[in-house]
Structure 1
């Protein structure tokens, strides 16, 4: 277990301001590690600045170039596919992460034989004030859907066993949201995971995240993942709510008007019942697809 190889994947898009400092700090830290092999892989995601040139001039770093900008998630997926390590670690190129925190993530994975480990940003971490409301909304939606308290669902520092994360690459988005989706996937599939406390610093340079656009995309991704693995959790609840609402409204109006059940109440009940039936059917299809997926990619003969 102590000889596990480690691949550090760093997606980079127009990070010329910070990337040299980030890589030099990381190289100094990893030189102290006892792993048999540690590789640093930078995936330049079609940067228009000097990012690729700077990385190419740093010895001990492997550079992979995208011809065009494909997105944060796409860069991560390329890095994971090309990685040689047994443990895959995600690390940001903007100066937010500390190398010593990454060491904590990897050490915990190895010490406890974990499938994954997430770096949870502590109270001393820097946070953009303009993003606080959006993150709180997303966190509330996630906690409501998965019925589990999440401390930090989209932290960019995390580690995975390669054999654990590799089969799920087709489910990861090419844009922002890969962190959130992998959190959900690990929880839904009940992998053995852990957490460590980390401190995030203020990023260097300008962020490419568009809050409203990427926030909306993340919500859609959350719903897609839940519908893929637990469709009854959403469709069933929505169907029950509609049936109850339609029933209460219908009874109330029938007693008030003494003229039978109104059409709107009937529509709500019928549509709610259809949602429940669709949820049951989707749940069965989901279980069959999961079995086929596991047989083909996770437990191949």
Structure 2
């Protein structure tokens, strides 16, 4: 029997990219690792035509709701729907190449429970100084707080076992889901393996994450360190 990887894709106002992203995901094969895939798209209250496009796509599981609740909320809804023994997170904007998932999945088969794709071990394209410095700062802070070196805490391409996910509790609704996942995996005792991945950043004006999200991420890390 084939193993199953559940790929969770949160989407908010991605009408210009979602069709291409889904096509690339549908074409991606993990058969060499013995995995079938399910693609779970969570439409996070998009106000453009994202939902209309998604309704026409076959071969996906669609979760949708009217109000924009944030990336963390969307991912948590996707996790609830996942049937796979392994879960992968993939953004809908194609900053992260879907073929990276295969590289991370291979390491899950080698016995790792949590594998991250690191942009800083690879060669990130078009990342602004602000985002570069902010990500570096948060990664160093994470390493210091939790005693485990990590280069890209905020990466949006994460693969982990369902068993590892089930042993942590998540409550983040926004972009703070990234530090929450990282910190809670570390606090639960998981050694996070990082692999270099390809990354092609959006133009600055298209970014949905800002400086305030970075500040919030730092507070999330401190809260989890102190209170769990």
Q: Is this a same-fold pair by TM over 0.5?
A: yes
Structure number with larger C-alpha Rg? 1
**SS in structure 2 at match of 1:14:** coil
- TM-score, with normalisation over the residues of structure 1? 0.69
| Equivalence map 1:48-197=2 (5 Å) | 48-110=47-109, 112-121=110-119, 122-126=121-125, 127-169=127-169, 171-197=170-196
Q: Is the 8 A contact 2:176 2:216 kept in 1?
A: yes
For the residues of structure 2 that align with 1:166 and 1:92, how far apart are their CA atoms? Answer: 22
SS at match of 2:87: strand
- State the structure with bigger RCO (CA 8 A, min sep 6), 1 or 2: 2
Q: 1:137 to 1:193 in 2, by over 3 A?
A: closer
What is the RMSD computed on CA atoms of the aligned residues? 2.1
2:225 match: secondary structure: helix
Change (3 A) 1:17 1:86: same
> What is the distance in 1 between the residues matched to 2:149 and 2:44?
33
Aligned 8 A contact 2:136 2:151 in 1: no
What is the CA-CA distance between 1:82 and the residue it aligns to?
0.7
Are the aligned partners of 1:172 and 1:182 in contact in 2 as well (CA < 8 Å)?
no
Worse-superposed segment, 115-124 or 32-41: 32-41
Whole-Å Cα distance in 2 between the matches of residues 142 and 16 of structure 1? 34
Contact 1:6 1:35 in 2 (8 A): no
Report if aligned partners of 1:80, 1:166 keep a CA contact under 8 Å in 2.
no
Whether the 8 Å contact between 2:10 and 2:75 is mirrored in structure 1 is: yes
> 1:14–1:49: 8 Å Cα contact kept in structure 2?
yes
Query: Partner of 1:47 in structure 2?
Result: 46
Q: Which runs of 5+ in 1 are unaligned?
A: 230-301
Match of 2:211 in 1: 212
**How many angstroms does 1:161 deviate by?**
1.0
Partners of 2:61 and 2:145 lie apart in 1 by 39
- The structure where strand makes up a greater share of residues is 2
TM-aligned CA deviation for residue 123 of structure 1: 4.0
SS of the residue 1:7 aligns to: strand
Q: Which whole-Å CA distance do the structure 1 matches of 2:164 and 2:30 have between them?
A: 27
TM-score by length of 2: 0.90
Count, aligned residues: 225
Conservation of the 8 A alpha-carbon contact between 2:168 and 2:188: no
Which residue of structure 2 aligns with residue 254 of structure 1? none
